[in-house]
Structure 1
Amino acid sequence: MRVFKAVLLGVCMLGASAAQAAIYVAADDSPATRLCVSAAMDVPIRFVMNMRESNMTRPFIANRITCNGKNITAFAYETGNIKNYQRLSRYHRGFVEISDLAKAPMVKPTDTVVAIQGGNIAVFASN
């Protein structure tokens, strides 16, 4: 009986920790960061509206925007927003990763907070 109670307690604690959802907050107010947060959290129609409002093309967003050092397409997949990942993967042709560090204030002790910093890849003309 003791073993059963110990196993039941362990399963309950594991389930409680898995129920916490990550909260994504913007580390700055750049358009790339807003797109990163939208790719992670928004429903597909809102994400499309945010892409339109950014005045960037979809191939540019899918290939040149990075979120916390990862391409926005991979970032959407990693955060579990599969519909936005599928939308971006239509335009994704490869990427270069740039590391950005971000810090955000705490929301609640029980929430998992992920600060997102977007970045564009600079394109330089060669002589």
Structure 2
Amino acid sequence: MNTLTKTLATITLSLSTIGMANAADSLFAADESVSSKLCVVAAQGSKIQLHKSIKDSGLSKRYIAENVTCNDQNILAFVQDYAKDPDEMNNALTNGKFNTNVEIIDLAAANTKK
């Protein structure tokens, strides 16, 4: 009987830990506003759902990319922080114009070569 109790307690603890770990990664809309729903859909990473949500909202991708904020961040920055594949989602929002590559040019070295 003691072994059965220990086994059940271990299984229960394991399952509850797994459930809490999965719940920690979920995002939800704070309210029923269009922008909140767009933020959640964009962060979830489904381009099909994002396209459907944009179409349902009646807003343009450009307007969303420039004006929608999520948790006091621009939607592109929010997606960059919380999405599983942020570059793909941000490219979907900006029609492929989103780029995280930064080129650094040494201006002092460029000016001395003249």
TM range (shorter): 0.5 to 0.7
Query: Structure 2: which 5+ residue stretches go unaligned?
Result: 1-17, 99-114
Partner of 2:46 in structure 1? 43
Q: In structure 2, what is the Cα distance between the partners aligned to 1:63 and 1:91?
A: 15
User: What secondary structure does 2:59 align onto?
Assistant: coil
User: Is the helix fraction higher in 1 or 2?
Assistant: 2
User: What secondary structure does 1:24 align onto?
Assistant: coil
Query: Structure 1: which 5+ residue stretches go unaligned?
Result: 1-15, 94-127
Q: In structure 1, what is the Cα distance between the partners aligned to 2:69 and 2:97?
A: 12
Partner of 1:87 in structure 2? 92
Q: In structure 2, what is the Cα distance between the partners aligned to 1:30 and 1:47?
A: 15
TM-score by length of 1: 0.52
Q: In structure 2, what is the Cα distance between the partners aligned to 1:91 and 1:27?
A: 29
Q: Bigger shift: 33-42 or 76-85?
A: 76-85
Residues 62 and 94 in structure 2, CA contact (< 8 A), matched pair in contact too? no
CA RMSD in angstroms, aligned pairs only: 2.3
Q: In structure 2, what is the Cα distance between the partners aligned to 1:91 and 1:59?
A: 12
Residues 35 and 68 in structure 2, CA contact (< 8 A), matched pair in contact too? yes
Higher relative contact order (CA 8 A, sep 6+): 1
TM-score by length of 2: 0.58
Partner of 1:67 in structure 2? 70
Point out the structure with max Rg over C-alpha: 2
Deviations 1:12-70 (A, max 9, x none): xxxx9xx7551101110000100011011141111111001000111100100000011
Cα shift at 1:86: 1.8
Partner of 2:6 in structure 1? none
Q: In structure 1, what is the Cα distance between the partners aligned to 2:36 and 2:46?
A: 17
User: What secondary structure does 2:92 align onto?
Assistant: helix
Deviations 1:103-125 (A, max 9, x none): xxxxxxxxxxxxxxxxxxxxxxx
The 5 A counterparts of 1:1-127 are 22-80=25-83, 81-82=85-86, 83-90=88-95
User: Is the strand fraction higher in 1 or 2?
Assistant: 1
